[in-house]
Structure 1
Amino acid sequence: MSGRSGPERAAFPDVLDPLTGVRFFLALGVVLFHYQLYWTLPPESAGLLNRSRLGVDVFFILSGFILTHVYLQGDRPLDYRRFLAARFARVYPAHLFILLAMLGLVLAAPMFGVGLEPGRFNPTDFAATLFLVQAWFPRDTLVLWNGPAWSLSAEWFAYLAFPFYAALATRLRVRPWALIAIAAMLFVALDAVYRLQFGRVLPRAEDSMGILRIIPEFLYGVGLYYLGQRWTPSARTAVIGALATTAALLALMQLGADDRIIVVAAGPFILSLALLAKADVRTFLSHPVALFAGEASFALYLVHIPVLMVWRNAAQALAGWSGDYRMGMAELAAMLALTLVAAAAIHVFVEQPSRRWLRKRMASRPSDPVEARRSVHSDQGEPF
């Protein structure tokens, strides 16, 4: 990196296009991870796909990075009420829409001869998912109303805890390596606890105490942001850095490296993409199509499991296939196309209008231009 300066002199631009565009590819990786469990490729041919589920961890780091960028600049205090209102308006409409659609599907399933496991879709898990607390407690079973929403539960926990992150960040923003070190120590400690209690490494935490997974990773993103403020790369350096960190992350995933190593490598990857924006380098991630896809990635992440469930049940009912049938590539391509269309429709017709309506209704006093600007720019870092 060329040149160092204080945070104010080396500020990032308001909008970090590469971090918006890359969200689509991260969400698509999670989608393909779930799809590859049902297709005809042998397991050994899908090394990268088996690790693409760790896109969730990349998003947790990204959330800490972006929300620091938007809400923890200068000396203006955080308006916590407006912060939570903006976060709720951003994540809840699509979540509620898809959850209610799942409820309708579960209630309608018997009418179409689709059998459901007894107790699989129960009122307790529905309530936990509705209030986004399904990943806050130990449990032995998965919450199946919409499995991917566990990570949204973890995100909501981080939003509620944001004042604690803000207090720590304010004290240590001139010492970003200290923030990263604290995040690393938290990760090591929580990983040890999780392995002792549940027999799995921390990046495997989902429905059962998935909030432990986001706690250090969100802080990692905070520290990386302040570290990046110190660097002003040339365009050439920024491109080389982005290519190198991307290649390293993909190689580690393909080679089946330890999940925890991949989480560490995700940090430089996020930072390098942000530095592309700082160096004013435009790539395909800044193209309007990539930006729209990134903005719709949250809907894509939430809707892909319901589409998969409906598709496979329909195929079994219409064709008489067994429940464990393997999907061919043509079928997968058709299902993916349907999923992308559904995600785009939910983004345009549910997410966007609901977000605008909620933000207007939840503001009890005249809009503060600075807070309104913060809320809009924070959308670029929403998790999925």
Structure 2
Amino acid sequence: MVHLAQARASSGAATPKQQATAPAPLHALTSIRFVLALGVVLFHYQVNMITPEAVPIALIERARLGVDIFFILSGFVLAHVYGPQIQEGRYSHRRFIVARFARIYPTHLAMLVLMGLVAIIAVMLRQPFAAAGHSLTDWFADLFLVQAWLPISPTEWNGPAWSLSAEWAAYLTFPLFAYVGLRRGRNPWLTVLLAALVFAVMDLIYRRISGEVVTHADSTFGVLRIPGQFLYGIGLQQLSLRLHPRPAMAVAAAIISASALLASMHWQLDERITVALAGPFVLSLAMVSRSGADGVLAHPAALLAGEASYALYLAHMPVLVIWKNAIAVLTGSDSSYRLSVVEVAVLLPITLAAAVALYTLWENPARAWIRGRLSSPSNSLGTS
């Protein structure tokens, strides 16, 4: 999960050449992340609510596919930021890995430690959380971001973190993705077609293992879920370089693609169709930014929400677990009880506030500290 502004942030002075080739920000792609993260939050709230799972709100149930859109976004934004470096021979994989580690790991570590403390306290208070099979082995798998790399079902210490494991695998192998999709003269349509083929192969493998489509992969072999989407994003970014729509056309394309995406979710079409439709949505938003038609999506509040979306994504389940265990202790009930609508109405603003605080007080300072420790002074573009 990567924000464009953060991917471009520097830890040292940029050379004139770097400044000249620094990519322009795509504000719409940053702001939309809040909507995607909020959809995942509402999905998890719905699963835990009194409303039976058998009759969920379709749009919210399919909001979990926001993770797949995040994967496409990651490929798109990283290609946007690092593509020029690769094509000009300035790319350093070490600097890239330091940047990605500094971006994703501090918040992940904070939430993992928090969940470990919750488990310890639950043991002391004899709450069910501690007896749910949470193992130390799985905690360390989460710590090293490898929990989604194998066809097993590890305990989810912080459920959403499986996608970080998949992202980390993509980061480690980024030179391979770059070779396939970011070489000079590469036809972006071929990259998009190859992405579809990779997605189909990953889907076939996962269906052989689990009997479900690959969009259901998470902590169990969730790494299969990212290669196709990530490459899809890279191909779309390269395709975007050939497009120069007028602002009105870009906005119209965004509205049409968003409508198609939402319709596929509402009518619960095959999830693979929804993933395919997410591509034009991401592409059209990038065109909205490039044409200068960001509008409200470039507002500082929208950008802050987008920047804090990663913290929201990782913090919402710990907040939910702590809330349910606290209520269980206070009322003498079981922490597996289902939430009321009133509780959700209270939990949501608490979670949003916690996400902004986490982003402001921990994520940003920790990222800057890691960059300062591990990045060379001359490194600028792409060190976050």
TM-score over 0.5 for the alignment? yes
AA aligned opposite 1:37: V
> 1:223-274, CA deviations, whole angstroms, 9 ceiling, x for partnerless residues?
0001111000001100100101111111110111111010000000000000
Name the residue aligned to 2:9. Answer: none
| Aligned with 1:99 (options 97, 105, 112) | 112
Secondary structure at 2:133 match in 1: coil
C-alpha separation in 1, matches of 2:59 and 2:183: 39
Is 2:288–2:294's contact at 8 Å kept on the other side of the alignment? yes
2:196 aligned with 1:184, yes or no? Answer: yes
Is 2:62–2:268's contact at 8 Å kept on the other side of the alignment? yes
C-alpha separation in 1, matches of 2:129 and 2:323: 15
C-alpha separation in 1, matches of 2:129 and 2:338: 20
Out of 77-86 and 113-122, give the one that drifted further: 113-122
Pairs aligned (count):
361
Name the residue aligned to 1:79. Answer: 92
Name the residue aligned to 1:382. Answer: none
| Aligned with 2:369 (options 352, 357, 371) | 357
Secondary structure at 2:182 match in 1: helix
Is 2:122–2:130's contact at 8 Å kept on the other side of the alignment? no
Is 1:172–1:178's contact at 8 Å kept on the other side of the alignment? no
Deviation >6 Å, runs of 4+: none
Name the residue aligned to 2:45. Answer: 35
Structure 1 position 119, deviation (Å): 6.2
> 1:101-151, CA deviations, whole angstroms, 9 ceiling, x for partnerless residues?
111111111233313354621111011000000000110x34321111000
Structure 1 position 326, deviation (Å): 3.1
Out of 324-333 and 28-37, give the one that drifted further: 324-333
| Aligned with 1:154 (options 146, 166, 169) | 166
> 1:143-189, CA deviations, whole angstroms, 9 ceiling, x for partnerless residues?
32111100000000000000101111234754000000001011112
Out of 127-136 and 322-331, give the one that drifted further: 322-331
Secondary structure at 1:116 match in 2: helix
Sequence identity (%): 46
Structure 1 position 323, deviation (Å): 4.3
> 1:203-232, CA deviations, whole angstroms, 9 ceiling, x for partnerless residues?
111111111110111000000001111000
Name the residue aligned to 1:16. Answer: 26
C-alpha separation in 1, matches of 2:185 and 2:358: 38
2:69 aligned with 1:58, yes or no? Answer: yes
C-alpha separation in 1, matches of 2:337 and 2:139: 28
C-alpha separation in 1, matches of 2:184 and 2:208: 31
C-alpha separation in 1, matches of 2:310 and 2:185: 29
C-alpha separation in 2, matches of 1:358 and 1:77: 22
Q: 1:12 to 1:201 in 2, by over 3 A?
A: farther
> What TM-score do you get using the length of structure 1 for normalisation?
0.90
AA aligned opposite 1:49: I
Secondary structure at 1:83 match in 2: helix
Name the residue aligned to 2:146. Answer: 133
2:341 aligned with 1:341, yes or no? Answer: no
2:208 aligned with 1:231, yes or no? Answer: no
AA aligned opposite 2:77: I
AA aligned opposite 2:232: Y
Q: 1:299 to 1:173 in 2, by over 3 A?
A: farther
Q: Which residues in structure 2 correspond to 1:1-384 (within 5 Å)?
A: 14-41=24-51, 43-44=54-55, 46-73=57-84, 74-116=87-129, 118=131, 120-139=133-152, 141-171=153-183, 174-363=186-375, 365-368=376-379, 372-376=380-384
Name the residue aligned to 1:6. Answer: none
Secondary structure at 2:338 match in 1: coil
> What TM-score do you get using the length of structure 2 for normalisation?
0.90
> 1:263-315, CA deviations, whole angstroms, 9 ceiling, x for partnerless residues?
00000000000000111102222111111111111111111111111111111
Secondary structure at 1:232 match in 2: coil
Is 2:72–2:229's contact at 8 Å kept on the other side of the alignment? yes
AA aligned opposite 2:47: L
> 1:75-111, CA deviations, whole angstroms, 9 ceiling, x for partnerless residues?
2331111000000001100011111111111111123
C-alpha separation in 2, matches of 1:114 and 1:219: 44
Is 1:90–1:355's contact at 8 Å kept on the other side of the alignment? yes
Out of 211-220 and 312-321, give the one that drifted further: 312-321
Q: 1:173 to 1:342 in 2, by over 3 A?
A: farther
C-alpha separation in 2, matches of 1:117 and 1:100: 15
AA aligned opposite 2:136: P
